[in-house]
A and B are shown apart, each in its own frame.
Chain A
Amino acid sequence: MIRYIVRRLLGAIPTLLVIVVLSFLLTRLAPGGPFDEEQALPPEIRANLERAYGLDQPLHVQLGRYVAGLLRGDFGPSFKFKDFSVTELIATGLPVSLKLGAAAMLLAVAIGIPFGMLSALRHNQFVDHAVMALAVLGIAVPIFVVAPLGALVFGIYLQWLPVAGWAPGEIRDMILPTVTLALPVIAYVARLTRGSMLETLRSPFIRAARARGVPRGRLVWRHALPAALTPVVSYLGPATAAVLTGSLVVETIFGLPGLGRYLVQGALNRDYTLVMGMVVVYASIMIGLNLLVDVAYAWLDPRVRPGARQ
């Protein structure tokens, strides 16, 4: 198992490197630059600025410097937030985004799985149809529609929750963004759990257990549930992608000082280093979580465990 994890970790390095090189080359091939302002800069000042940021060097030197900096945890200076380095911006944004993302994932699993089970156990009854209708809605309505609607209903009409803002330690500020971010994932997890639970409940080993007189509660929780959860576990990778993507919108709408907002602002400002830094951080999170999911999957399902006989 440990060898498997180490091998996967080593395999992640070239992936990350390719992403870094690819996005680096893309941003540097850009026709527009970070110093394109409304008013054109005098050429001498422009040259000075470019020298200060190392932009006058040949491309491969810039790339080498950037990668060497990354290894030291130095993401370079931000072109637009002039008093901050990208590393500082990441340090302030990352905790917010991680908290938001982790809360959303936990919520999705904690709500999605029970509802999926409920739906499967009440197959073709009213509860099942209601849950699945909600799930279809949750999947199809995009987050940038859900987020303002949520703010409208709970923040403005009902006045239950703040519309925006992020005070440290203030739970009320977190509720609306977290729920909004989790909603599509909850819906998907519920649908997956339902489908795989239904299939598991029909499988021979469950029928055999039932024939042996295993009580219903034990049958569902101990026999069926672990087997039914494997597709949900493998969905956690794509779920991470959904949460990361959604966090861009959620952080922008609810005014959270997270990575997503910096990425959006960086994109609007053509702040190369900021966008690059965010892409590297997001890619690392994605790759790390996918690795975790694979390990969890191997642990849950002996058939895909490394070294298992085919």
Chain B
Amino acid sequence: MNRSRGLWADAGRRLAANRAAVASLVILALLCVLAAVGPAFSAYAPDELDWEMMGVPPELGSGHWLGTDRLGRDLFVRTLHGARVSLAIALLATLVSLLIGVTWGAVAGYAGGRADALLMRFVDVLYALPHIFFVIVLTVVFDRSPMLLFIAIGAVGWLTMARVVRGQAMALMQREFVEAAIASGAGPSRIIFRHVVPNLLGTVIIYATLMIPQMILIESFLSFLGIGIQEPLASLGNLIADGAAEMETAPWILLVPATCLVIIVFCFNFLGDGLRDALDPRER
């Protein structure tokens, strides 16, 4: 037990030494806190119309320091709200794909042989088409509620995770401790979830961190096209679409949510790279 704690502490030290990753972590934490509680402290509600101030540009004195949109809604609050929706959907979608991907990959890696071939062949087939197209089919099928949106995104995002986990699981199956577990009579589910999966955690964390920005992008992409989150709820994709429609006269309506999205995506990527270097030094 001591050694494994040593491993994680080691990884933590390496991560702390990576300035880009630490900065990203701080920015993301700040953004999450802001997105969670910020709107509550603002003088404006996200759907509140300020009749005196419609489409005003960012200015500190006006009270709307990032400006307002055409209907006089405060952009700062709306962007935070959008970020909250986008982040929540991305996290939940990542969780869904983790559950499916890790189980799928671990079972394939554990079973080997024909079951493995069948499971992975299915993954190959789904790989033949970009994820977004399956999500679009799913959004045609089901209502466009935020609940179903994250399930739809998560339900197609697990393929890479399944491949990675399967490879690792196959390697783990050769290890002595698994052999020992089999010899002492552990059943398949016990071996998979008590012996194989815990040893995959590092890899899973790395890929999950890198998956979150992908999920945010998919969600924003769909919302931008009008197939994702629907008004009056806002996500970053919606806000960017609104801004794009108004950009000729009011470019800030586009720039504020776009900047927020880019910052989030950048930070998650830096953090994911940092985690990879910290948890898996061999990769460098």
Contacts and interface: CB of A to CB of B under 8 A. Distances in A.
User: Real complex partners, A and B?
Assistant: yes
Interface of A: 14-16, 18-19, 23, 26-27, 29-32, 140-142, 144-145, 147-149, 151-152, 156, 241-242, 244-245, 248-249, 252-253, 263-264, 266-268, 270, 272, 275, 279, 282-283, 286-287, 290
Nearest to A29: B141
A30 B128 contact: no
A30, A145, A242: which has the most chain B beta carbons within 10 Å?
Answer: A145
A140 B266 CA distance: 6
Contacts of A282: 129-130, 133
Contacts of A32: 143
Interface SS of chain B: helix, strand, loop or mixed?
helix
B132 A245 contact: yes
A286 B129 contact: yes
Given A264-B225, A282-B133, A156 B247 contact: yes
Given A248-B132, A268-B226, A145 B262 contact: yes
Given A18-B125, A268-B226, A286 B136 contact: no
Interface SS of chain A: helix, strand, loop or mixed?
helix
Given A26-B141, A263-B136, A270-B140, A144 B220 contact: yes
B142 interface: yes
Given A241-B130, A282-B133, A144 B125 contact: no
B63 interface: no
B221 interface: yes
Contacts of A144: 220-221, 224, 237, 240-241, 244
Nearest to B216: A142
Given A156-B247, A241-B130, A268-B226, A145 B261 contact: yes
A301 to B, nearest CB: 21
A149 B141 contact: no
A32, A148, A245, A282: which has the most chain B beta carbons within 10 Å?
Answer: A148
B224 to A, nearest CB: 4
Contacts of B134: 23
Given A14-B125, A27-B137, A279-B133, 13 more contacts: A15-B128, A18-B125, A23-B134, A27-B140, A31-B143, A32-B143, A140-B265, A245-B130, A267-B140, A267-B227, A268-B226, A275-B137, A286-B128
A148 B220 CA distance: 14
A290 B127 CA distance: 11
Nearest to A272: B140
Contacts, number: 111
Contacts of A148: 240, 243-244, 247, 254
Contacts of B269: 140
B13 to A, nearest CB: 26
Contacts of A249: 221, 224-225
Nearest to A285: B129
- A-B pairs, 4 with minimum CB distance: A148-B244, A30-B141, A241-B130, A144-B224
Contacts of B225: 248-249, 252, 264, 267
A29 B220 CA distance: 26
Interface in B110-152: 124-125, 128-130, 132-134, 136-143
B265 A30 contact: no
A252 B198 CA distance: 45
A27 B140 CA distance: 7
A143 B275 CA distance: 26
A203 to B, nearest CB: 19
